[in-house]
A and B are shown apart, each in its own frame.
Chain A
Amino acid sequence: MATKLIPKELAKRPDRLSPGHRLCAGCGASIVVRQMLAAIDAPVVIANATGCLEVATTIYPYTAWRVPWMHNAFENAASTITGIEAAYRSLVRQGKIPEQNVKFIAFGGDGGTYDIGLQALSGAVERGHQFLYVCYNNEAYMNTGIQRSSATPLGAHTTTSPAGEVIPGKQQKRKDLTMIMAAHDIPYVAQAAPSQWRDLMQKTRKAVDCGGAAFMNVLASCNRGWRHATDETVELTQLAVDTCYWPLYEVENGQWRLTYKPKEKLPVEEWLKRQGRFRHLFRPENRHLIDELQAEVDRRWERLLRLCGET
């Protein structure tokens, strides 16, 4: 079992993702990864889908990773980590390598997870491998230059769903991947955000100790795509949480639990207006999209409250 989460102690640990990587200033992904890896006491082995996190941390012959790390392709981080995990179990069982309580983690962006890698992820968790899949979700394909994904919210401007003269940004709602993963009935599923770092770290610990497949969807702002200042990353993810656009909850062995309830549920507009990707929504002719987004947030929030027994 994991030891108690003592921030002072954790702060003394060397970063498993070292400084010097080439992710942008204010990138949510690196904050999420460092925070999560700091929460795990045991050795870790990582598989990384193609994406910003991968390309910016391992430009040959350099690497920012101080732990075993592998990149295979875009859509197969989940299948890759299950191959590594199966090899570990096989080799340990045969006495070829020592048992070291290794934790296996896959990192993918929303492109690699919600879209191109969904099949591999679904298969991997159904097979019951012991691993944690982390989606660092910045709500678009940021590595290729901000194209829409199925995680991109309604109305958002991306380079493939541009806010034009006729079409005001993305025309479709975002997919609820956390719900899809919960429907797999695996031991642990959670939604988290780096602004609630203690919650994020505690969930990470639960996830790697759950004894089976775990999935975490972590909102990780990309200031290039969301269009905000580099020092607003954490603040903006917290606004997503406080508007209930991104509720924090977990599903542990089928038990739904809200892990953070905002004191006051802010209007989603508070979050939208801080980001350049939604700027066009504040034109009078597009106001209805904000209303639609608010309705979606309200409906999903109410459903979540029911599932968590909060109503």
Chain B
Amino acid sequence: MSRFEALTGDNAVAMAMRQVNPDVVAAYPITPQTETVEFFAEYVADGLVNTEFICVESEHSAMSACVGASAAGARVMTATSSQGLALMWEIVYIAASNRCPIVMSLVNRALSAPINIHCDHSDIMGMRDSGWIVLFSENAQEAYDNIIQAVRIGEHPDVLLPVVVCQDGFVTSHGMERVEVFDDEAVKEFVGTYKPRYPLLDIEHPKTLGALDFYDYYYEHKRQQVQAMENATGVILAVAEEFNRKFNRNYGLFETYCLDDAEVAIVVANSTAGTAKVVVDRLRGEGLKVGLLKPRVFRPFPARELVEALKHLKAIAVMDRSISFGAMNNAGPLFLELVAALALHGVRVPIADYVFGLGGRDILPREIESVYRDLLRVAESGRVERLVTYLSVRE
């Protein structure tokens, strides 16, 4: 049913792509995503996939070709990072609005300037309002599992939205890990075949796609996108349940770690959640009631479910790997959204934001531990002394 392999995050994604065997892949190499494109090119060269692999001349064309191919009726995938995503930006919105269920692997990397090839989440946070479903992955295994599930989520008739699967640049993309790889047949069976509803290539039934849409219809089409996003939550959970039944790994909207009886907790996405788990174990060893919540689904934002999971705490820290410049207190986007969710649901837990790791700055267990120790003090005093802290930065 499965085997274990030593894979980098990039390789794990390429492996999932090979097994999904999409009809079309259009991609452009960019550090740290490059390996995925290279591995996939090898699969194409070795005849292991049926995919038409379009080696485009830019990421803008990558996403443009993906939209064309998806509208044509193909199952389509791509991969990028940072500046590549920024160059795609215009068409990223068009992909979602045209309801193209494209699956994209995004290896998170800091945005220029200054140019930097290492991890932070400024790339994904820039596209958070574009209409894509956004999934985070702690490690190579989760990236692999999420890519496979993303195909089913995006193509669901009640959703029909593109899905982006994030993993941390270098930390995950280039770190070699033990990854459970399922049998090709099992993946093929799980993803099934894509049955497009209105394919452009249905020559006998010509369709006009991407028409000019004025004030008399545009708004309704946007409202339909909202509906699709609302439908996505249930579909994500249903796909996760089916995935669990078949592959025996449990996914939800987020993962909790030692949270139920915790008094304080950190909310952090992607690879840093893995480091935080080690810190939780260590502090639990000291008898401290600390816990962790690791978001998996960022879009649609599961506000109600998050509040439900966090409302019993005495203090919460959000760790943001990006800054929303000029937003309230120059905090990070994850913090801002969670603060709003808690307020909306009338939950008054003291909460603070810790921005960290910009441009690939290392985040060490002792720094995460310091956040927990801050939280324990806040829990005792009931007062947040510093709303936004920029961890490990020379000021």
Interface string of A66-110 (1 = CB under 8 A from B): 111111110110111111101111110110110010100000000
Return B164 CB to nearest CB of chain A, in Å.
Answer: 18
Residues of A within 8 A of B23 (CB): 87, 90-91, 94, 96
Task: Report how far A58 CA is from B206 CA in the complex, Å.
Answer: 13
Contact with B212, one of A43, A59, A80 (Cβ below 8 angstroms) = A59
A127 near B60 with CB under 8 A, answer no
Beyond A79-B56, A123-B58, whether A87 also contacts B73 by CB under 8 A is yes
Q: Are A79 and B60 in contact (CB under 8 A)?
A: yes
> Of the candidates A54, A59, A73, A97, which one forms a contact with B73 in the assembled complex, judged by CB atoms under 8 Å apart?
A97
Q: Indicate whether A197 reaches chain B with its CB closer than 8 angstroms.
A: no
A54 to B214, CA, bound (A): 14
Q: How large is the interface on B (under 10, 10 to 19, 20 to 34, 35 or more residues)?
A: 35 or more
Report the minimum CB–CB distance from A122 to chain B (whole Å).
7
Closest CB-CB distance, B284 to chain A, in whole Å? Answer: 51
Interface size class of A (residues with CB under 8 A): 35 or more
Q: Assuming A45-B200, A60-B211, A73-B94, is B58 touching A81 (CB within 8 A)?
A: no
A7 at the interface (CB under 8 A from B): no
Taking the nearest CB of chain B, how far is it from the CB of A121, in angstroms? 10
CB neighbours (8 Å) of B51 from chain A are 90
B213, CB-defined interface residue at 8 Å: yes
Is A302 in the interface zone, CB < 8 Å from B?
Answer: no
- By CB atoms of chain A within 10 A, which of B64, B73, B76, B209 has the most? B64
Q: How far is the CB of A72 from chain B (nearest CB, A)?
A: 5
* A210 close to B (CB within 8 Å): no
Contact A66 B54 (CB under 8 A): no
Q: Does A47 contact B (CB under 8 A)?
A: yes
Contacts A63-B211, A79-B56; A84 near B203 (Cβ below 8 A): no
Contact bitstring B31-54, A, C-beta under 8 A = 1, else 0: 000000000000000000011101
Query: Is B261 an interface residue when CB atoms closer than 8 A count as contact?
Result: no
Say whether A61 faces chain B, with CB atoms less than 8 Å apart: yes
CB distance from A70 to the nearest CB of B (A): 4
Cβ–Cβ contact B206 & A69, under 8 A: yes
Q: Determine whether the beta carbon of A79 is less than 8 Å from that of B65.
A: yes
Contact A83-B67, Cβ < 8 Å, known A94-B23, A122-B57: yes
Minimum CB–CB distance from A235 to chain B (whole Å) comes to 31
Contact between B71 and A70, CB atoms less than 8 A apart: yes
Q: How many Å lie between the Cα of A93 and that of B26 in the bound state?
A: 18
CB-contact partner of A83 in B55, B64, B208, B213, under 8 A:
B64
Can you report 9 A-B residue pairs in the complex whose CB atoms are below 8 A from each other? A59-B211, A60-B212, A69-B208, A78-B61, A80-B65, A81-B68, A83-B65, A86-B26, A90-B74
Known: A71-B209, A91-B73, A100-B203; 17 extra A-B contacts, CB below 8 A, are: A58-B208, A58-B210, A58-B212, A59-B214, A61-B211, A63-B211, A69-B209, A71-B211, A73-B64, A84-B71, A86-B74, A87-B74, A87-B201, A88-B72, A120-B58, A123-B58, A127-B56
